[in-house]
Structure formats: structure tokens, C-alpha cells
Structure 1
């Protein structure tokens, strides 16, 4: 969200901190440009160098400019309404926080003017946030079906003839990425933040830890862990695959020895978030039958659907299932986040109950 915000500001030649320091907020037309850019997928926005004459922002980000790619005969792909609304709300909250923070350092006159301009402009900006109906569930993101999971794993198996990658290292690494995401339900940022020392060498376990601004992470955008630290147990066969990748594939890349991260690129650098997105785009291209919406985050939904299925088979009560899920996903004990990730399971149960009710109706052919 902040990357999108600052890229658009850079495109317009706006130094946000300098502007706020003069007691001036963004104008409504400038905010409208932000709202417009927030409608589109980041993949459909290309980067351009910003003029060197632009003054730098205090917050360290890559100085780039964004422009929309206009493909011949093809419209830009828009994000869903929920994502658009979320982006705008985060931007508004951040701009309000930053204006308040800078305003506290200004004189009374400038601080008052900034507060008034901020309130007026953000009222107009927040009015642009699309309303998201809590009843609109059709088309919401769901996990993969069992059949699609099997197809996915079959296509990307390192020995598959349909595997879209050529190099053995890339095949093994990308297969491991998908397996770990399906096995644990972790986010892509958590996966990319994993370090070899987070693996237990005696037991099939790994630790997911929060590391803010890690000195040993060279990536401009460091993957983050949004949840609490936690320990996850793996099946021995999966853990053996992890160590096999480390000892037989990763170790061959000499440059990778400088970095503690588990998942690395061909050149040894820790893999980026954008690379994960590219991997899933290549998977979709290699297997057209898979959902067009397949991303790393869909595998998180898939894990939660499978968790619900197994909890039902085990006969867990709703309270025990919720607590167990929250622990495995790093959520607080009273978190209701699981409801976001179990739509396929809930939908299936709803259909089953609905059909049961219909069985009670006498609708024999007349």
C-alpha cells in the first residue's frame, strides 16, 4: 500500500514530508490520482525512473515512477472492490497519521492550517472508498478443490514432463515452495522470511518468527510476518525434502552461503515477493485448467479448508477447532480470522444442509 502511495507521489513530483512541513496537505485532485491508481493490479503498472531533480522522501523507498501499461485491445485488470477499498482506507489512515505527526512539530499557525486541510481533503478521499457489502460473498476467494490440489502437485513435481521450469534447482525449489504453503498455510512473506536456523535439526519442526528490518536481509522490501511467532510440526517426509533441497540444491549455489534465508534465487539472493507471484503466474500458464485466481494466498485458504475437513472428521467441537486453528496460524486465541479462510468448507456444508432440508419435501413427479 505504501509503495503504491509513494510511487504515485513520485510520479507527480511530490515530496510528501516537505509538503506537510510547509503546513500543506495533498490537494483533492492529487488524492483522486491516488484513488484512481489504487483500482488496478500492481502487475499492470510499469516502472519508470523518477527525474533526478525530484527531492527525496524521508522514508527510504525506491525512487520510481508508475505509469499504466496499455496493451493493444486489452483493458487494465482491476482489483476486486474489497482490495480497492482496503487500499484507500490504508492510504487515508497513513496520511492522517503522518499529517498529525508532522503537524505536532510545526508552529501553531501552520499546524492548525495543516489539520484543517487534512480533515477536509480526507473527508473527500474517504468518500471515494467503495462500499463493500458483507452480504456479497459470490466470487470471494476460496481454496482449491481436492482435484485442483492434485493437479497442481502433479504439474510442478520436479520429474513432471509438464513442469514449466528447466533447471533442476528451480524445479526443486518451486515444488518445495508449493508443498510448504499447502502443508502449513503460512503466508508467502512468512515463507520467504524463513531462515535455515529456524529449522529443528533433530525434530521435524520449523519456527516462524517476526523479524523487523533484519540486517541479514538484503531485499529492498523485506517479507514480513503479520502473525505471532509460532512453531509448526511437519511430517518427517516433508522435512526430509526441505533438508534435501538445502544439502543437494541450495548448497551448490555458492553466493547463497552468505544468506540465512531458506528460499533463494538462482543467483543466491533471497527470493523476493514479486518472484513468488511470478512463479504462480507460470504455474497458471503451465496448467490452464487451474483457477485463474491461483496465487500463493489461495493456498492459505486451501490449508484452512482442509483443516476444517479434518477437524470435522476428528469430531472436534467448534471451540476446540477455532483455538487449534488460531494457534497454527499465529492468530490470537479469540481471533475470528478463520472465517475469512474457510468459505469453501462453509459453502459445502451449507449445500449439504440445504439438500437435507429438500429431502423432507414431497415433490414426487405428478
Structure 2
């Protein structure tokens, strides 16, 4: 929606609401301009990139040429899936607006606007790129073993490369990253953990659904998307969690008002934005880490490690699937693992493919 309105606001400027109130819709040329803008990262599109010398015509070729003259070293194009989603959302929103304002017009104008908008949006939607379900190259994967080791080294409270200065923040962020790696839980589930969810004696923690929890003061409350479940931790990881709560969190007087485990220095529960910022700071502190590193990448990493350990234990495919679904809070017949195990699947496929080549009659084989 931000992209749509910014495009409408650049020269030649289009007052969409005034246009609709007058009984007219966007032209095919104007919609083509929106479809063109949907191809690019918003950061690479400057306000003057769309200005044209005439008030009526936009030369799309000149728009692309001007984009290349920006200070960016290279114009970033978004993926086909992202571009398709942008066009679909814009089309749905424009269709809603056309129907909304048409309802207030006299019958002849109403019919004309609806016919005009339907034809124009049909042509607009025809520009939605096809997104192949088989296009998995470049899809999100877990961290490699080397990147995991690098991450663990950087995030340790005693690391000279640790990006945080305050001792409380260092210890809290270390515990958060280790908990994500140990359990494969979602970032929202981590932020939703409450002190009462931890059973230190049994070294277990509960991941519970708490929709619209009144004890969550955040403007955007976090929630568990999967089923409730109980996860067992190694004693050393549980000990680190308990030490953080007793020695760091509970020393902040304001934190005692809230049940959430992970809090900011002012005592309030951490937000999603704070979690995102944590990984941004990690990437900046250690350039060798993948640029796409987020809390969710650690979920992929856990699933890769789970698959590798299942192979070593000789688990059957069915047993592995059931065990994984139980640990991740998925339904018993869920196939979500296919999404989260790309790196492991690709490695196994490569090993099998190379094995097939062993008996080929090639010199040196």
C-alpha cells in the first residue's frame, strides 16, 4: 500500500479518490506504471525517478533508465513471488475502492466506473508474474556448521566481538540465541515465554498458546502459532536460563511486574522489533554471518541438525517425522518439515547423486 500511494503521489500526480468520485478509474498506462514499480526494491526508487516532461505520458523506458542513475551501485529487483504479491494486493485494494465509491454515484456513472475498473484490473492482473512452486534455489536454509560455530562464538558474553556493551544485554542475548538453537522455537514463542513455563527441576519448559493475553503489555502481542508442547533442555542450558532470570532479570525492579522471561533494560517485555534488531547487530558485528540471519533462520538450523542426528541414530522416516512434529508443535501428519530441512535434503541428494556416479566408466573414476 505504501508503494501504491507513493507511486500515485509522484509526477504526474494522481488523486485517486478524486478520480473515483468523478466516476473514473486508473488508465491502463497508469496501472502499467504501478506494475513496473512493483518489480523494484522500494529503497532503490527515488522520488524523481518517475517525473516526466509531460503531464499525460509516462515513458516506462525512461523511468528504468533514471533508476539506473541513482546513487545505488546496482538496482535491486525483488523476487517474482514478492512482485506478484504486490500486484495482487494493489489490485484487490483498487477493486475495493472502486466498488466503495461507485455505490455513491448515480446509476449510469456507477455502471460505467464498475465496467471500466473491471476491464482495467483484468489487464493489470495479467501482469502478475508466474511463480513456480519448484523454484527453490536461493530459498531460506539453516546455517552451515561453520556459521553456527561463528555465531556461538560472537554471541558469547565474554567474546571480544560481542556487539553489546552492557553486561545484562550480553547475557540475555546469549541465552536467547542459545535457546533458539536448542529448541527450534519461533521468535514469537521465545518472546512469549513466561517464568512459570520453566520447570528447572525437570529441566523442561512449556511453549503455550496465549491468545490476547492480558498480561502482555506490548502494542503488538506475540503468540504461539503451533500446538502447545513441552520441551526438554540439557541441564547446562536450563541452568543458563535460570541464572539469567535470578541474577539479571530479577534485579530490574520493573521486570517483576511482568511474567515474560526476556525483558528490556527498563523491565518491559522485549518486542519483535527488538529481536530483529538483535540479529541486525549480530550481522554487523560479524560480517561473515549470512546477511539473511534472523531468529527464523535458527529454526531452519535446528531442523537441519535434527535430521542429521536422526540419520546418526538410524531413525526410520516415519519415526523421525513424528518426533519432529511433536517437538515443533506441528500436527501429527504435518509436512512442514519439507520447508525447514532444505540444506539437509540438498546435502543428502548430493551424496546420493555422487554415489550413482561411482561406477561410470570414466578415466580416473
TM normalised by structure 1 equals 0.74
SS in 2 for 1:359: coil
| CA distance 1:167–1:125, change in 2 (3 Å) | farther
CA–CA distance in structure 1, aligned partners of residues 224 and 92 of structure 2: 20
5+ residue gaps, structure 1: 46-69
Match of residue 264 from structure 1 = 263
Secondary structure, counterpart of 1:207 in structure 2: strand
- Say yes or no: does 1:241 pair with 2:244: no
**1:255: Cα distance to partner?**
1.7
Stretch moving more, 149-158 or 230-239: 230-239
Structure 1 residues 330 and 93, CA, compared in 2 at 3 Å: closer, same or farther?
farther
Cα root mean square deviation, aligned: 4.1
User: Relative to 1, partners in 2 of residues 1:88 and 1:120: Cα closer, same or farther, differing over 3 Å?
Assistant: same
2:151 match: 152
For residue 138 of structure 2, give the secondary structure of its aligned residue in structure 1. coil
Bigger radius of gyration: 2
CA distance in 1, matches of 2:308, 2:259: 36
Question: 2:178 & 2:330 partners in 1: Cα distance?
Answer: 22
Contact 2:95 2:117 in 1 (8 A): no
Question: How do 1:240-319 and structure 2 match up within 5 A?
Answer: 240-319=239-318
User: Paired residue for 2:64?
Assistant: none
Residue 329 of structure 2 is matched in structure 1 by 330
Contact between 2:208 and 2:228, CA under 8 Å: does it hold in 1? yes
Equivalent positions of 1:93-242 (< 5 A) are 123=122, 126-242=125-241
CA distance, structure 1, for counterparts of residue 351 and residue 6 of structure 2: 53
3-state secondary structure, aligned to 2:288: coil
Q: How many residues align?
A: 335
8 Å contact 2:44–2:72 — kept in the other structure? no
Q: Residue deviations 1:110-157, cap 9 Å, x none?
A: x99999899777656654543222232221111111111111101110
Does the 8 A contact of 2:154 with 2:162 survive in 1? Answer: yes
- 8 Å contact kept, 1:92–1:125: no
Q: Once the two structures are superposed, what CA deviation does each residue of 1:220-239 show, in whole Å capped at 9, x if it has no partner?
A: 22223222222211111111
